[in-house]
């Protein structure tokens, strides 16, 4: 007894099976899924990162403005004190009264470290060159003294005297008086001498940098984030590194580190600008975001440092988890795909064997339809139907009438399909009040090669097109359908008009042995402005019908038909539609319609027809033009497809 050698059990059959449908099905689905997952994962990672950075920037700006506002409020209130005091100093003010007023200032304003009233030489007493009582805080309370040095050349005295208005000084060490690092707000005061105001001296209040350091250091930004203040000259007023305070400037550090970005940041901050940018931390060199804003009171600038690794740590961890789960899902999906593919290909192999036997002429081979009702089961049923049809076809091969009827039926179906893929509901956008469209296509045969389409690329941009495929009949209709699909696929990617035609031209030029081509006009209307960016690929130039009755053809873009040269560079031009202007598009079946004497309808007749119908509604304009063409042709059969579209812009 001999056992039949089943090819499915041989190594060759296993190799063929491995490279068959199941293998390719599994490979391509898994590869496509991996690519899609990678793209989606990358896109959402970038999107989430961008949103987080935007939120950080918003929070940083609010925190910077809030802190700066708090300091400005305190400094602003501080400025009022010496300004008010300067108004009450006159010749009758005694020394004790003056000291008492300054003491009350310190008692009522705990944010002020010290205050002084400094007089011009001999202004207080003709026998005394300099007189300036100064009160400041110490551990034991408020201490009163006279400034022991010749203060007339100091910035806090000389600056407001020269400028004739109050100023904040750069931070300095007040040796001999307060003996601390401080900044002084100086206000000049005057006396009336012979009816004129004469400069008499300066009223000051001092703030300690330790007080500012306390306010700024209370700003908490993660574990390693911090805040700092720099003066108008770029000197560090407060900083987590105490060695930099009053000893370093941001510009010097930029030059030392040869850091152009830090140099730019220093220039922005000392110029009193606000900003947010990515840089490296001066403390540890790690990547961070820096937000900065000026103090309106004294021109200093506040900086906030946000550590990038801390703020993005949770996001990175979540995306690593998502990546791991995605990988596990892909592995599971691979197993499911292989299982499904094998289940599909098993009955397909049986159908393949039956088909091979049918190809050898055995039309009586049994075909099992199986129990499944999916596509494979339907395919098996189709094979059975095809088997019976083949028998009937062979028997009725000589019946030409049946074949002709079948062809005519197919052409009718093709006609219905072709008309079905074109927009036929008008008005197409009844909810819109800014535009209206009407179009029609009348094929010369059962199926034709003309096409038109219109759709919104987004909320504000309407893409509309009219084209004409070379040739007639079924080949032209197929190319027309392909072209329409390609246009919509490219346009929904947000491309420009010339880019859409270039992409469609590339696709049509590939594997085009019949050398068929398409003339195409495509425009993109911005419904907000009325501007139409258009590109004309060898098509008839549309007409602009202005609201005032003027009719003119659009300027040509000098581009050739699609499907001829694969790398042709298309160009676009623009025209702006005003309120109630119309754009009339058509194919050469309109102007080349002929009468019994082979005369053409021509562009001149078309322009006259449009002029007579310019005030009609869109539908009547189209139907009226078609009636003019039919009246001209009379009984002459239509030689070419006729397509017309009109777009009216209401503004």
**Does residue 362 sit within a domain?**
no
How many domains would you assign to the chain?
Answer: 2
In contact, 113 and 178? CB cutoff 8 Å = yes
Instruction: State the maximum Cα–Cα separation within the chain, in Å, rounded to a whole number.
Output: 144
Q: What is the pLDDT of residue 426?
A: 93
Which residues are 133's β-sheet partners? 146
**Does residue 417 sit within a domain?**
no
**Does residue 624 sit within a domain?**
yes
Residue 264: both structure tokens together: 């730019």
523 vs 285, more confident: 523
**Does residue 466 sit within a domain?**
yes
Report helix angle 473-491 to 497-509, nearest 10.
140
Report the C-alpha gap between 537 and 441 in whole angstroms: 20
Q: What is the pLDDT of residue 408?
A: 61
Where residue 419 falls among pLDDT bands split at 50, 70, 90? confident
Q: What is the pLDDT of residue 628?
A: 95
Supply the range of the domain harboring residue 435. 425-649
- 214-238 pLDDT, tens per residue? 878 888 887 888 888 888 888 888 8
- Supply the CATH number for residue 537's domain: 3.60.40.10
Among candidate residues 180, 211, 242, the one where a domain is terminated:
211
Q: What is the rounded average pLDDT of the residues 298-323?
A: 81
Q: Give the start-end residues of each E strand in 470-600.
A: 518-526, 531-537, 543-545, 551-553, 573-576, 581-586
Q: What is the pLDDT of residue 187?
A: 93
Sequence-separated (6 or more) residues with CB below 8 Å from residue 270: 230, 232, 233, 234, 250, 251, 301
Q: What is the pLDDT of residue 578?
A: 96
Q: What is the rounded average pLDDT of the residues 455-464?
A: 95
In contact, 443 and 641? CB cutoff 8 Å = yes
**Does residue 117 sit within a domain?**
yes
Residue 50: both structure tokens together: 């961008």
**Does residue 380 sit within a domain?**
no
- State the DSSP H helix or E strand holding residue 626, giving kind and residue range, or none if neither: helix 618-633
**Does residue 341 sit within a domain?**
no
Distance of CA 605 to the CA centre of its chain: 47
- 50-91 pLDDT, tens per residue? 787 788 778 878 888 888 888 888 788 888 888 888 888 876
**Does residue 481 sit within a domain?**
yes
Report the C-alpha gap between 132 and 389 in whole angstroms: 120
Among candidate residues 155, 178, 211, the one where a domain is terminated:
211
Q: What is the pLDDT of residue 404?
A: 61
With helix as H, strand as E and coil as C, how does 232-290 read?
A: CCCEEEECCCHHHCCCCEHHHHHHHHCCHHHHHHHHHHHCCCCEEEEEECCCCCCEEEE
Sequence-separated (6 or more) residues with CB below 8 Å from residue 636: 594, 595, 596
- Supply the CATH number for residue 154's domain: 3.30.450.20
> What average pLDDT does the structure give for the chain?
84
User: Which of 442, 467, 458 shows the shortest CA–CA distance to 521?
Assistant: 467
Q: What is the pLDDT of residue 356?
A: 78
Q: Tell whether the model's pLDDT for residue 3 goes beyond 60.
A: no
Sequence-separated (6 or more) residues with CB below 8 Å from residue 520: 465, 466, 467, 468, 483, 487, 501, 504, 536, 537, 538, 539, 561, 562
What order do you get walking across the sheet with 461-469 strand by strand? Answer: 450-456, 461-469, 518-526, 531-537, 573-576
Q: What is the pLDDT of residue 175?
A: 66
- pLDDT above 70 covers what percent of the chain? 90
Cβ atoms within 10 A of the Cβ of 173, count? Answer: 12
Q: What predicted TM-score, i.e. pTM, was given to this entire model?
A: 0.45
Among candidate residues 172, 195, 211, the one where a domain is terminated:
211
- State the DSSP H helix or E strand holding residue 136, giving kind and residue range, or none if neither: strand 133-138
- 169-208 pLDDT, tens per residue? 888 777 655 667 788 899 999 888 787 888 999 999 988 8
Taking CA 541 as the corner, what is the angle to CA 536 and CA 547, rounded to the nearest 5 degrees? Answer: 120
- 109-160 pLDDT, tens per residue? 888 888 999 999 988 888 888 898 989 888 878 888 888 888 888 888 998 9
Q: Between the CA of residue 200 and those of 126, 203, 265, what are the distances in Å? A: 13, 10, 41
DSSP three-state, residue 490: helix
- Residue 288: half-sphere exposure toward Cβ, Cα within 13 Å: 23
């Amino acid at each position: 007894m001999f056992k039949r050698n089943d090819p499915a059990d041989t190594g060759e059959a296993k190799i063929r099976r491995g490279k068959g449908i199941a293998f390719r099905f599994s490979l391509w689905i898994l590869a496509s899924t991996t690519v899609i997952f990678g793209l989606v994962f990358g896109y959402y990672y970038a999107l989430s990162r961008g949103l987080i950075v935007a939120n950080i920037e918003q929070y940083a700006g609010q925190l910077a403005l809030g802190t700066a506002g708090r300091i400005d409020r305190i400094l602003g209130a501080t400025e009022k004190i010496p300004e008010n005091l300067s108004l009450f100093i006159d010749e009758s003010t005694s020394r004790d009264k003056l000291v008492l007023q300054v003491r009350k200032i310190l008692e009522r304003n705990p944010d002020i470290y010290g205050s002084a009233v400094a007089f011009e030489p001999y202004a207080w007493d003709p026998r005394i060159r300099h007189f300036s009582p100064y009160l400041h805080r110490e551990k034991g309370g408020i201490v009163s003294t006279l400034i022991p040095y010749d203060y007339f050349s100091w910035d806090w005295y000389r600056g407001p005297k020269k400028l004739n208005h109050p100023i904040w000084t750069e931070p300095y060490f007040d040796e001999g008086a307060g003996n601390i690092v401080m900044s002084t707000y100086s206000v000049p005061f005057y006396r009336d001498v012979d009816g004129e105001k004469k400069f008499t001296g300066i009223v000051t209040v001092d703030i300690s940098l330790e007080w500012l350091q306390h306010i700024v250091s209370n700003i908490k930004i993660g574990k390693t984030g911090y805040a700092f203040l720099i003066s108008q000259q770029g000197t560090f007023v407060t900083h987590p590194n105490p060695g930099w305070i009053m000893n370093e400037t941001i510009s010097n550090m930029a030059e030392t580190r040869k850091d152009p970005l830090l140099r730019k940041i220093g220039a922005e901050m000392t110029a009193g600008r606000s900003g947010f940018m990515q840089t490296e931390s001066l403390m540890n060199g790690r990547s961070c975001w820096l937000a900065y804003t000026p103090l309106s009171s004294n021109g200093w600038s506040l900086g906030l440092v946000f550590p990038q690794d801390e703020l993005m740590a949770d996001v990175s961890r979540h995306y690593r988890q998502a990546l791991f789960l995605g990988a596990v899902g892909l592995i599971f999906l691979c197993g499911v795909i292989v299982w499904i593919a094998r289940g599909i290909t098993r009955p397909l192999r049986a159908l393949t064997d039956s088909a091979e036997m049918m190809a050898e002429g055995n039309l009586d081979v049994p075909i099992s339809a199986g129990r499944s009702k999916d596509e494979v089961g339907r395919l098996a049923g189709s094979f059975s139907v095809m088997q019976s049809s083949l028998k009937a076809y062979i028997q009725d091969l000589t019946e030409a009438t049946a074949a002709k009827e079948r062809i005519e039926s197919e052409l009718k179906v093709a006609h219905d399909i072709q008309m079905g893929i074109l927009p036929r509901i008008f008005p197409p956008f009844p909810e819109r009040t800014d535009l209206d469209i009407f179009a029609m296509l009348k094929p010369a045969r059962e199926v034709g090669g003309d096409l038109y389409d219109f759709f919104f690329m987004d909320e504000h941009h309407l893409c509309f097109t009219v084209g004409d495929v070379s040739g007639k009949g079924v080949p032209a209709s197929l190319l027309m359908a392909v072209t329409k699909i390609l246009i919509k696929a490219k346009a929904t990617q947000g491309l420009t008009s010339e880019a859409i035609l270039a992409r469609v031209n590339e696709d049509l030029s590939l594997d085009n042995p019949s050398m068929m081509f398409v003339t195409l006009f495509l425009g993109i209307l911005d419904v907000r402005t009325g501007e139409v960016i258009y590109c004309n690929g060898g098509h008839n130039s549309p007409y602009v019908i202005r609201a005032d009755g003027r009719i003119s053809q659009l300027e040509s873009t000098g581009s050739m038909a699609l499907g001829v040269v694969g790398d042709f560079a298309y160009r676009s031009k623009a025209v702006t539609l005003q309120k109630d202007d119309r754009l009339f598009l058509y194919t050469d079946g309109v102007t080349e319609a002929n009468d019994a004497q082979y005369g053409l309808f021509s562009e001149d007749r078309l322009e006259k027809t449009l002029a007579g119908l310019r005030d009609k509604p869109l539908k009547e304009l189209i139907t009226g033009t078609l009636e003019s063409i039919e009246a001209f042709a009379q009984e002459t059969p239509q030689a070419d497809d006729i397509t017309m579209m009109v777009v009216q812009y209401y503004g």
